[in-house]
Structure 1
Amino acid sequence: MAVTEAVKLTCPTCGQANRVPVARLSEGPKCGICGTLLLDGQVAELDASTHDKITRGDGLPVLVDYWAPWCGPCRMMAPEFAKAAKTLAPAARLMKLNTEDHPEIAVRAGIRGIPALILYRGGRELARLAGARPAAEIVAFVRQHTGG
């Protein structure tokens, strides 16, 4: 019996780790516990626990937007970030973390200004991008650093 290559995808809703065969990534995989779509091209909001699980262990690239509700450039970039999420799915996942609600994560990640984008893969940081960006720049940034 052949071993099927799979990637670990953590559900942003319930935090459950899911193993998804690489060949089925474009078929709309769902969380085995809560049924949340794992690669639907939507931006998921993270809490501290799911942030750590996803950035430390997911098999696909994850771009996290560190933002706050009072930040004008953050709000201005939100629709562009959403467009980039649709473009990059299912090759990468885009997530947001509210630094006002989770300042300890912002401190640990070394966030000095927002919006700040950090690209993770396999438990390590690949690259950072500061400031509000259009969707095309966000997509180019992820592809440049992931070979996609």
Structure 2
Amino acid sequence: MTSAAQREQAERIRADQRFWRALVAEVGRDRMLEPGPMGDWTFRDLTAHLAAWRNVRIPQIEAVARGEPAPPPPWPAQLEEGDDDLEAVNAWLQARDRDRTLHDVLEDYDRSFERLAAAIEALPDDVAADPNAFEFTGGIPIVEGDFTEHLHEEHLPGIRAWLEGRPG
């Protein structure tokens, strides 16, 4: 059974999908291939980056919900997710996704919101509330995690500056 905390987390994710859709509309497809929201990265590149990380996490959550071991990340085994290799992992993900179309990347990230919400709702209640159930949450129960922090805190200021014509 899905707990109230799981339903609340799923609703926060769905609310952020609405925010994301408004941001996509604000940027406009005609600007999404221009560099600027993140240095040389385009809005498409940034969206691919967000989708790539989301698509690492979702299968991990889905596997745990099914009682299976979490799958390994898609990058080469010699790279690790920690701070020391994070730039290398991001570079690997960017290289892997560089030829994806704008439409594909936007659809992928947009679909990820509902998939993430559903995965969290599918977890056993005790797992959803366990601060140690998922290493990537850093000791925070998944129902208390912030799945949009990376966008809002790290990337949104640059996107806003770019949209306003200031250096990102």
With normalisation by structure 2, the TM-score equals 0.22
Larger Rg: 2
Relative to its length, the structure with more strand (as a share) is: 1
Quick one: higher RCO (CA 8 Å, sep 6+), 1 or 2? 2
With normalisation by structure 1, the TM-score equals 0.24
Relative to its length, the structure with more helix (as a share) is: 2
